[in-house]
Structure formats: C-alpha cells, structure tokens
C-alpha cells in the first residue's frame, strides 16, 4: 500500500479525492491538510466519509508519503510543489498552476508571475487518453481543468483528423460544484437556481489550456471562442463544440472519428447521445457528434468532480505509480 | 399620486417592492436608498426594472414622501422609524424589528436590546386577512415574515374553531429567495440545489411570531414546533401544519373552515390542493386541509417575496392610505 | 371591449393567454375551448385563474368574437382558421401551421400536406420588432416559435449589418414548459431534472423558420445549425448564437448594433448581460453580444411562454386591433 | 460466483441493481428480463452500464440462477415468485406484493386480491437493521418501500424506547426517481420542477407498511399520518417525523437513542444533521433528532434507489446468501 497525501482536503476536489481513494486497492490516505479544519476529524467535516476516512486534518502534509495531490486554489501549488519534488514525492496538481507550458501565456491569463518556472516546463499535462505515455514517467502532473477535459476530448480527435477548420466555438455548460465550495453571488441559489448563466466569455482560463492541449495532440493550433455557462445542477458538464468541415469533406467522413480514437479506452466512450446522468458520480466520459452540411456539433459529457478533476487525478496517479489504470475508478455512473 | 420611499432598495424585497409599485395606479416611487449602490441607476442594478424605475439610488430617503417601506436587515428599521414617524411619514417595516409586541420575547429571540420600545408597542401586525381594521388606522405596520404569513393563514382559523388541540407541528418549506441576497454556505447551489435542508429547528424567529399572531386572532396560545426547510426552488413556500382533533371531533367538522374564513378575501383562497406554482409571482395564497381519524394536515402556499413580503406590504399600504386593497396587486400567479 | 376567443385553453399557451388577457384593458375573454375539459370552469382547471376567468370551457369557440387565438398542437389550426377568417374573425395562430410561407419547406419540415395553402401565403409572421407594419394590417398572424423568436432577435440585426458571415451556429437552451403540457420521456423529471439534454439536432422545425425570418428582414439567407437543449428550469430561453466576422471587420464595429436596432422598442432591450430571470413572467426580451478576434457570440433571453408565445401573440393582437402595443403587457419580469 | 437474475431490468430499480451487482465480488448477473427491451443489449438501454453489463435482455429469466430480484410494478411478483421458489430459487421482491403480512390489510390498501397468500405469510420484511436474523434464513424477502425504510429507521427506535406517544406525523419528501420511469402529469418537469407537491395524503401504501414494521420491532402499533411530497430533485428522501414525548419525559432522555440503536450498523448512522447529499449514490442512511419541550422531530435521509430500494435488496441478498453484509455496497455517498 502506497501512502498518499492530500493538500487542501476541505474543498470539493479534496473531499472527492478521499471519496475515491478510500476504496482504492493500492493506496491509503496517510495525510489530509486543511488550513480551516486542522484538528477536526475528516468525517466530521465530510459526513459522507463516515467510516471511510479515519484521520484528522493537519496543517502540513506528512513527509512519509509517496505521492501528494494538491487540491488548493490557483497560486498555492507553486509554493508547495518544489520542496515536495525535492523530497522525492510525486505530485499531482489539480489547480491551474502547472497546466500552461508557456510562461507568458500563464502570466497573461492568470495575471501574476509564476514562481516555479522550472517545474512548470517539466510538468506533464495529465489527460491520459491523449498523453498516457508522458504521464507514466512523470513526477509532476498538471491535472486538466474540468471544462478543458470535456472540450479537449471532443476537439482533439477532430482537429487531428484534418477534416475540420481550426475555428471552434465552444458552448460549455457546467454544474455548480465546478465553482468550488466558496459561496459567491453567481452560485447563490436565487441567482443561478432557475437560470443558465454565461460568464467569463472570452476570458476563461481554460481557453488557452484547450488550445495548447489540442495543438499538442493534433499539431494544429485551434482558434477557440470558449463560452462557459453555469447550469442549475450540481455535477456534470456538457461541452458542445461547433466546427466547420473543410471544403469537400462530407458529414459521413467524420462520423466514426470518436469510435476509432477511443475504441480501447476504459473511461471515454463514443455514444450516439452523450448524457450527463450516465456519467455522474463516475470517471467515465461520453462523446458523440452530429454533422449536417458543412457543420459539425460535437458533444462531450463528464462529471466535473471526477473525470473533470479528482477521478482523472487518480487515473494519473495509477499511471505514475504503475497501478492498473482503472484501480479505484472502475464503477459506472449513476444513470438516474 | 402619493409619494413612496423605499429604504433598502438593493435587496430582494426592495426590488420586489419596486416591481409592484412601478405599476401601482395611486403611487409613485419617489426615493429608493441603497448604501451599496447609491448613485447608480435603479435599472442598472435591477435590469428587470429597465423602463419601469427611472431614478437613482440615494443614501438617504427623501423627506417629501408620504409613506416609507423599510426593507433592510433586522435591527436597522428601529433606527430609522422614530424620526420618520415624527415627520408624519407612515412606515411599513418588512424586517422583524416591530413584529413582536412583547419586548422580552423580542429580545430573547432576536438576541439584542430593542431601542424603540415605544413604537414597538403601537406597531400593528400587518396581516390584512386577520387584522384588517387595525391596519387601516395604523401609522406603523410590522409586515409579517414569509413563513409566518403562510403558517398563520393555515393555523389561525383552525385554532379559533376550538376543534383542534393547541400543539402544532409545522413543517415549512421555502424557496431560497427567502434567505435574501447575501450568499451563504447554505444557499450555495452545490449545497442546496439538489437537496432539502432543515435548519434553525426550534430556534427560528418566526416561531414566536406565529404563536403571537395565532393567539391574537384566536384567543388561544398554540405551542408550535416550527421546522423550516430550504427547498431547491427560488420562489414559493409550502407550510404543512399538523394538528390533532379534540376528542369527539370528526374530520368532516373541520372541512369547511378555510372556505368559511376566507370566502370574501381577494388574496387567500381555499382550494383542494394548494400549489406553489399557482401563486408564484402574485400576492395570492392558497390554503387547504385534509383530516383522517384524529389528525389534520393543513397546507398553505404563497410566494415568499410577494404575499410573504413585498406584496403584503403593498396590501397594507393600500389599507393605510385608503386605496383599493387590491390596487397594484390584482393579477394572477404564473400557474406554470 | 373587444371579445376574444381562445381555441385550446387547457394547454400552457392557452392558460398563459388567459393569464394575460384577464388583465387587458381593451378586451374580454368571451370563449375558451377545450376538448378535454369542456364543461369545466376555467378556474377549476387553472387554479391560478381563480377570480380572473369566470367562464366555462366549451367545445367550440363562440361566433361573436372579434379575434381568436389558436393555441393548439401543430396541424389543428389549418382546419379552424379558414372558416374563422371567412366569418370576419381575425386569427392569431400560436402553432407552426402558418409560419412557413413556402409550402414545400412547410411540408418537408412538418412532414404532411398543408390543407390551407391560400391563407398560408397571406399569413403575416408575427414578430413585431421586425415586421410591425405588416402585422398592423393583418387578418391572420402566425405567431413565431419560442426558440425562433429568441434566435431571430439576436441574428437578424447582425445579418442585416453585413458585417458577419452567413454561417450561424445556434446553441439554444429552453425551460421545459416549452415542451407543452403532455408528459414525455424527455420531460420526465428524473430524465431532465438534473441534466441538460440536446435534442432534435439539425431537425428542429424552428431551423427553417429562423432562416426564413432572418432573410425576410436582412435580405440574406443564413445557413443555421440549430441545436436546442432542454434545461432543468420551467420558464425561460437563452439562445447563444455564434458568428464569424467578415474579413476586416473589428469587434468594436458590431458592438452597438443591438442598441441601435432596438433603441425604441418597448419589449426588446440591449443589455450587457442578458439574464433569464430578468424577463421571466414578462413580455420583455434582452439581447447582448461579445466579440473577440473574428468571432461573435450573441445572447438572447426571453420567457418562452410570454415573449416566446402568448405575450407576443397579445402584442400582435394589440397591433392588429389598433390598441396600444403594450396594453396588457406593460409590466416587468420577476427579476428574482 | 453465484448467478443472479433480475426480472424487470428496464426500470430504475432494475438498472440500479445492475449498477450495484456488476461490481459485487460474489455474484454475476446471469439474466435480466425486460418485456419492452428483450433482445436489446443492456448497455444500449442503460448507457451508464457500458462495459459493465455484457448481456442482452430476455423475455424470461433463466432457470440456472441462485437468486432472483423481482423489480416490477406492484402485482407482477405474486405471479412469478411461486414457481421460482418451487424451483429452489431464492427471491427478493422490490415491489409491494409481499410486504404486508396481513391479507385484508394488503387487499384494502392495494385494492385487489392477493393470489399468493401462502408465500405472503412466510415472506420476511427485508429491513436488515431491524430484522437481520429473519432475513438470513429467508427464501423470500419483501424489500421495503423507499419512504417506509426512511421512516421506519427514524420511528422504530423511538417507539421502542417507550418515551414517545403512538401518534406520529410523517412529512416525507422524495426525489422524483421514486416515482419510477413512466412519465406522468405529476413528474412532468413543468409541474414538479420548481415546486414541492404533496400527494396521496393519508392514502399512500407505505402508511400500513410503516405501522406494521414499527409494531413488529417495538411491540407498539403507532398511528401514523403519512404525508409524502414530491421534491424537485432526482435522488434522495428526507423523512421528517414528529412525535410527542410522554408526560415527564425530557428532551435529553431521547437524545442518544439513535446512536445507541445504530452504533454497530455499517449503513445507518446517527449524525447531528442528516443530509441527503451525504448519502446519495450509496447504501448509507443518516438519522438524527431534535427535541424541544414535549415535541420531537426526527430526520432520516437515504437514496431512494439504493438504501430505499436496490441497495437494500443487495444487502438482503448478502444476508440470505451468507456473503459479507456490505459486499458490493461498501462505498460512500457523493457528498456533493
């Protein structure tokens, strides 16, 4: 049993990591930190972990762990990761700190200086279906954003096919748990509970992440207008991606791209009608597309807290540690 | 046209007052205050009022108004009301400051000293269906709480009938707008959006208000266990009230109590199946009951921001000012 | 007072017409039909109309009315309208029967023969902001679809500007009341209540309607991929429309198009952030756009049962009958 | 590995059984029937089971199974169970067919004759926390209703304590998946999606089931007024149960009853604030109570499809087959 630490255990992704790791056959949760809840029992804070997480939150992560998940707000991980790596502890960062390989791009979209440029350059982008081999050998993995995961899974294969133009409109819809546990005007129920709220249009930080990862996979830099929307549900993302077929390409030419790309994947499935409820609670994602004339709409769904965050992080851990890739994640979505 | 002021125009009840008053035939909104938004146009803050509220928020209410609605958090009105009344301006307070006639009860449930005891004693409890005549002559009306209005409309006639015992269990469910516009952990969508959350059990301030008003109307002091629940909807309250029939009373003895009590009321209706959607958006309430053996459940529904707050306040204003009681309020609920 | 008939009064748009007309200063509801509920009191079927609709549903509409709204499923109106028009009764059809001016287009998208081709040719498309003058003189108005209204309001001015290409992706999201009152697998709460469901991709009948109306207004035929989505809310549509700027056009060139187009409109408003809750319950719509590089996203929101159906029909009636255009509709949305 | 059959695999409880059993260490799903979907692959009907359920729906259950779950509407199981039992196949019925031990009570509440009275008498009521030993030796288990499970877990220990009176008011709230997969007027999203709907007041079939089970456990027959409400969420029940303390009993006398009763239970937990989201997706339930003066409110939460149906059925199977009681069910709720 390998020992695992979680930095930032109070938040949604930290709790979700515990929900998944407590049933993982190859690891134990040795340490969970929380600035706010240090000294409290984990299951008193997260009552759903009663019987599954028999430890207390601490201020600092213990140093006898083999791997640490950093589940903190943006800007924290870059202060924690260098010393962890120096101590020989592998790291998976669930924040945006290590996602952008290009420092100026990072600083432009995140609005401040990056203080760990060296590790930024070596960090591996943790999307297993596209970059599995890189993840296997990595000491530091940047876990992708939730919107980014959904969108990249839909866009990368189409872009790689060479059959669509590089202009992409992405109309993405997310459950509110993607906003994290801190209350805000936008996630206040009277504001969002009976509406759908576009926000961060053209300025959301997943935009350059999507463009970077799609280019890494396909060799082609897309030009993405990314429009996120807050949905009145708790878990789940639907990313609807709009493409134009190149001249001479017919709708039927793109129909089997997803089935071909993801045929052997345990967690990503080509289906006729991707449905959020089919994947909620699980690490599975579904993709599907429909083409008419010269236009394509591709749909991608996942649970933002699982395949869009903590589940994908566990999947990356499995690859980094040499476990079965599906260990601790091999169960279906709720369906209903 | 009488001139009206609103103190506290940024919040939900302040905005709702403007939504109703902007179409009222006998008044104009002369002044709306907001500490936070002073200097901004009302319709820039409340975009739904575009074309309907052509004024700016100010720091202080103008002194040429005939009546002021105080739509501020608890504890503010008692500082504003004395000088307004001294200036001959009638007041309707939508907060809890003037609801309890008994000072010790106020101080026990609200946890601080009341600084305007004199006006507290004279304030009229503004529930028109039960205390219409008192409201007509009042200079200061304490507008009832939302849960309280729903619950009292159901409980008072039954208690007055003398056919039920004085022990009442109230299981009340409210939409989230009842919590006001300030985000909190409880109204954060991931917390409340796919759940129902009991809270404030036995400690909610509407408990003594319900007991006081039911006693004022019926002459009998009920003993109420009040259990509020946060519903994942924005507008609407369902108050389910449980009673025990006195020995020898048969279910059919209580069946027509609501129809009899509310036969001539413009806004409260006895119906077989009270339904939130039938009244949302309007000042209407519906009540109905079912009795089996020695047990009764009574249901009461209303829109917490209209009949449960701003609409009822306008109804009180109509009575205080000698307008038609239904002026500005005479339209049906959304239905769907 | 003019006399009004409603054919199909049980359904959502029929009930909504009654909700609006019962407060209209210039008309009275003289007759409401319902095959299912004939003989029942309207307010027993629609409890929200208690006190507002003092009549019974009948099998047939009375013949002494001045104007009839036909609020029936597709395919019914074409059997009712010819004799009504022959009797000198003006008609507004809320279904799709008279929306398409081109018979083959109608028959392709609706899948059956049109039996009233003559009136189909003369019917006026009832979107007042774009075709006001035509509506004023019309005897038969085809009330636009809900998605179509939202989408056309956003697309027509941009297309007319000549600054964008003719390819449009429309990602539209609707509340469930748009599906009508008949239960179905898709509107079953466990299916749709915690999800967002794309459906009818590329096959929805509002596609040709949008293309037709935008071309009528702008002179340019757009090529639309229309993707409707079912949202887990009851009322409200957000239509997000994606455009590409023509070469040489800058984002700032399109910024004021909506403000210019709709400057004097009572019901359509250019705002920075169109929000469903601002318009729910009312006949108002909001539009706004954001442009980045060569890409534009335009947002349009409305209440699908009001500006997207019954409210717009009343607005058309007002024009046809020479009433004030805003009569019966001049109130703001709920806001919260 | 034991072989399991599921009769009625298309519905929610049938699908949920497959979701749980596909990961169970001791069984394999050998046969799933569906009248409607016979011949189709299970994962084509339930896309969330893709990769987890590699079989086709059949008309009849295969006869080489060790145990059959009957997940059909009320009235079907009594036709299937006799021959299965005769063939030596154990049965767990998820419908109401075998829950009432008293034939007249069954026939009164279900409205038709019971055709398998013999097995009705021997069927064991499958609530493990209260009747574990009986279940271990059973060939036929009647799986409790969802509301009933939640309510009995809250009521039985209090009643057994002898500290409360026998009159109980139960205000229960359920997610819509409890209504099954067939669309209806009540589960139509526009009806239920922004409301809470009381229904079946005093007539719901879980009423006598609650009374029976509480009496079996406590020796005291309670008199229950059961008021179910449809909540606008998909999964989850909150049952709020109201009691009166006997004369001389103090609130603190009842405080530890749940902690004492359920101290060693793997799936039922006494917590201060039972919360639906803590248990959704899992077989866990939470109970808690608050007492004031002579009144008590007890809260019980569970996922109606898991602990309220299929999960509890698997728990019963584990007991009947001698597996570890938690096999296949030992994972936490979603939490968020």
Q: Residue D58 contacts by C-beta under 8 Å, 6 or more apart in sequence?
A: D31, D32, D33, D34, D38
How many CB pairs below 8 Å do chains A and B form together?
62
**Which of D10, D48, D325 to mutate against chain A (most A CBs within 10 Å)?**
D48
Which DSSP symbol is given to B163? -
- pLDDT grade, residue A183 (50/70/90)? very high
Chains that touch D (3 or more CB pairs under 8 A): A, B, C
Q: Residue B133 contacts by C-beta under 8 Å, 6 or more apart in sequence?
A: none
CA separation for the pair C238, D241 (Å, rounded): 41
Whether the per-residue pLDDT at A221 is higher than 90: the answer is yes
- C266 interaction partners in chain B (CB closer than 8 Å): 51
Residue pair A31/A92 in contact (Cβ under 8 Å)? The answer is: no
Selecting from D281, D286, D330 the residue whose C-beta is nearest the C-beta of A281 gives D281
For chain C, the domains span 2-143+307-321, 146-304
Q: What is the arithmetic mean of pLDDT over A188-214? A: 96
- pLDDT grade, residue C202 (50/70/90)? confident
Test D299 with B198 for CB contact under 8 angstroms: yes
Could you tell me the CA-to-CA distances from B53 to C284, C331, D232 in Å, in that order?
15, 11, 34
For D2-144+307-321, which CATH superfamily applies? NAD(P)-binding Rossmann-like Domain (3.40.50.720)
CA separation for the pair C93, C76 (Å, rounded): 10
- C202 interaction partners in chain A (CB closer than 8 Å): 290, 292
Q: Residue D248 contacts by C-beta under 8 Å, 6 or more apart in sequence?
A: none
Rounded to a whole number of angstroms, the distance from the CA of B279 to the nearest CA of chain C is 6
pLDDT digit string, tens, across residues A269-326: 999 999 999 999 999 999 999 999 999 999 999 999 999 999 999 999 999 999 999 9
For domain C2-143+307-321, give the CATH number: 3.40.50.720
Rounded to a whole number of angstroms, the distance from the CA of D11 to the nearest CA of chain C is 12
pLDDT in 10s for each residue of chain D, 336 residues: 999 999 999 999 999 999 999 999 999 999 999 999 999 999 999 999 999 999 999 999 999 999 999 999 999 999 999 999 999 999 999 999 999 999 999 999 999 999 999 999 999 999 999 999 999 999 999 999 999 999 999 999 999 999 999 999 999 999 999 999 999 999 999 999 999 999 999 889 999 999 999 999 999 999 999 999 999 999 999 999 999 999 999 999 999 999 999 999 999 999 999 999 999 999 999 999 999 999 999 999 999 999 999 999 999 999 999 999 999 999 999 999
- Topology (CATH) of C146-304: Dihydrodipicolinate Reductase; domain 2 (3.30.360)
- C334 interaction partners in chain D (CB closer than 8 Å): none
> Regarding beta strands B2-7 and D90-93, do their DSSP bridges make them parallel or antiparallel, or are they unpaired?
unpaired
Pick the closest to residue A185 from B189, B16, B64, D241 (CA basis). B189
Please enumerate residues of C whose Cβ is less than 8 A from a Cβ of B: 12, 15-16, 19, 22-23, 46-52, 177, 194, 234-235, 266, 269, 271, 273, 275, 277-279, 281-282, 284, 286, 305, 330-336
Rounded to a whole number of angstroms, the distance from the CA of D190 to the nearest CA of chain C is 5
Residue pair C294/C70 in contact (Cβ under 8 Å)? The answer is: no
Which DSSP symbol is given to D179? G
What is the pLDDT, as a whole number, of residue C109?
94
Q: Which residue is closest to D233 within chain C, CA to CA?
A: C193
Q: Does the active-site annotation cover D241? A: no
What is the pLDDT, as a whole number, of residue D48?
97
Test C233 with A295 for CB contact under 8 angstroms: no
- A12 interaction partners in chain D (CB closer than 8 Å): 336
Q: Which residue is closest to B300 within chain D, CA to CA?
A: D198
Test D19 with A332 for CB contact under 8 angstroms: yes
Selecting from A234, A305, A334 the residue whose C-beta is nearest the C-beta of D48 gives A334
Selecting from D198, D242, D277 the residue whose C-beta is nearest the C-beta of B194 gives D277
Residue pair B274/B300 in contact (Cβ under 8 Å)? The answer is: yes
Selecting from D169, D242, D276 the residue whose C-beta is nearest the C-beta of B195 gives D276
Which residues does chain B have with pLDDT short of 70? none
Across the beta sheet with C27-33, what order do the strands follow?
C57-58, C27-33, C2-7, C67-70, C90-93, C140-142, C124-125
Selecting from D19, D277, D278 the residue whose C-beta is nearest the C-beta of A335 gives D19
What is the pLDDT, as a whole number, of residue D285?
98
B/e letters for A10-31, b = 16+ CB within 10 Å, e = fewer, are bbbbbbbbbbbbbebebbebbb
- D278 interaction partners in chain A (CB closer than 8 Å): 47-48
Residue pair D12/D305 in contact (Cβ under 8 Å)? The answer is: yes
Reported ipTM exceeds the 0.95 cut:
yes
How far from the centroid of its chain's Cα atoms is residue B60's Cα? 25
pLDDT digit string, tens, across residues C228-238: 999 999 999 99
**Which is catalytic among the residues A91, A146, A192, A316?**
A146
CA separation for the pair B113, D7 (Å, rounded): 66
What is the pLDDT, as a whole number, of residue B202?
87
Q: For chain D, how many helices (H) and strands (E)?
A: 13, 14
CA separation for the pair A167, A282 (Å, rounded): 31
What is the pLDDT, as a whole number, of residue A209?
97
For B146-303, which CATH superfamily applies? Dihydrodipicolinate Reductase; domain 2 (3.30.360.10)
Selecting from C171, C197, C276 the residue whose C-beta is nearest the C-beta of A171 gives C171
Test B190 with D336 for CB contact under 8 angstroms: yes
The dihedral through the CA atoms of C150, C153, C159, C161 has a sign that is negative
Backbone angles phi, psi at A323, to 5 degrees: -80, 170
SS (H, E, C) chain C: CEEEEEECCCCHHHHHHHHHHCCCCCEEEEEEECCCCCCCEHHHHCHHHCCCCCCEEECCCCCCCCEEEECCCCCCHHHHHHHHHHCCCEEEECCCCCCCCCHHHHHHHHCCCCCCHHHHHHCEECCHHHHHHHHHCCCEEECCCHHHHHHHHHHHHHHHHCCECCEEEEEEEECHHHHCCCCCCCCEHHHHCCCCEECCCCCCCHHHHHHHHHHHHHCCCCEEEEEEEECCCCCCEEEEEEEEECCCCCHHHHCCHHHHHCCCCCCEEECCCCCHHHHCCCCCEEEEEEEECCEEEEEEEECCCHHHHHHHHHHHHHHHHCCCCCCCCCCCCCCC
Test B196 with D276 for CB contact under 8 angstroms: yes
pLDDT digit string, tens, across residues A59-100: 999 999 999 999 999 999 999 999 999 999 999 999 999 999
What is the pLDDT, as a whole number, of residue B23?
96
pLDDT digit string, tens, across residues B198-214: 999 988 999 999 999 99
Pick the closest to residue C127 from C87, C86, C157 (CA basis). C157
Poorest-confidence range of B311-320, C100-109, C212-221?
Answer: C100-109
What is the pLDDT, as a whole number, of residue A202?
87
pLDDT digit string, tens, across residues C253-303: 999 999 999 999 999 999 999 999 999 999 999 999 999 999 999 999 999
- pLDDT grade, residue A177 (50/70/90)? very high
Q: Which residue is closest to A179 within chain B, CA to CA?
A: B190
Q: Residue D307 has which token pair?
A: 């602990």
Chains that touch B (3 or more CB pairs under 8 A): A, C, D
pLDDT digit string, tens, across residues B117-169: 999 999 999 999 999 999 999 999 999 999 999 999 999 999 999 999 999 99
């Amino acid at each position: 049993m390998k020992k695992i630490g979680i930095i930032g255990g109070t938040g949604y992704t930290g709790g979700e990591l515990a929900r998944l790791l407590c049933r993982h056959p190859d690891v134990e949760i040795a340490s969970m930190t929380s600035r706010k809840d240090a000294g409290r029992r984990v299951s008193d804070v997260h009552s759903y972990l009663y019987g599954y997480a028999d430890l207390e939150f601490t201020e600092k992560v213990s140093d006898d762990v083999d791997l640490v998940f950093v589940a903190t707000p943006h800007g924290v991980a870059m202060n924690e990761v260098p010393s962890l790596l120096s101590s020989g502890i592998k790291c998976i960062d669930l924040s945006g700190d290590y996602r952008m390989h290009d420092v100026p791009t990072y600083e432009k979209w995140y609005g401040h200086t990056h203080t760990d440029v060296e590790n930024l350059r070596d960090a591996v982008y943790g999307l297993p279906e596209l970059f599995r081999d890189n993840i296997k050998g990595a000491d530091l993995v940047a876990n992708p954003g939730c919107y980014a995961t959904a969108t990249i899974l839909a866009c990368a294969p189409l872009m790689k096919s060479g059959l669509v133009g590089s202009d992409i409109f992405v109309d993405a819809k997310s459950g509110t748990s993607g906003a994290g546990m801190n209350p805000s005007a936008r996630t206040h129920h009277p504001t969002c509970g009976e509406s759908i709220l576009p926000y961060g249009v053209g300025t959301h930080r997943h935009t350059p992440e999507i463009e970077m990862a799609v280019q890494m996979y396909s060799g082609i830099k897309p030009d993405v207008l990314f429009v996120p929307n807050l949905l009145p549900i708790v878990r789940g993302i639907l990313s609807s991606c709009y493409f134009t077929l190149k001249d001479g390409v017919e709708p039927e030419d793109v129909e089997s791209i997803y089935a071909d790309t993801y045929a052997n994947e345990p967690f990503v499935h080509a289906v006729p009608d991707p449905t959020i409820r089919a994947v909620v609670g699980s690490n599975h994602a579904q993709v599907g597309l429909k083409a008419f004339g010269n236009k394509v709409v591709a749909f991608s769904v996942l649970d933002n807290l699982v395949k869009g965050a903590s589940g994908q992080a566990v999947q990356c851990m499995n690859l980094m540690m040499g476990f079965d890739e599906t260990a601790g994640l091999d169960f279906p979505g709720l369906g209903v």
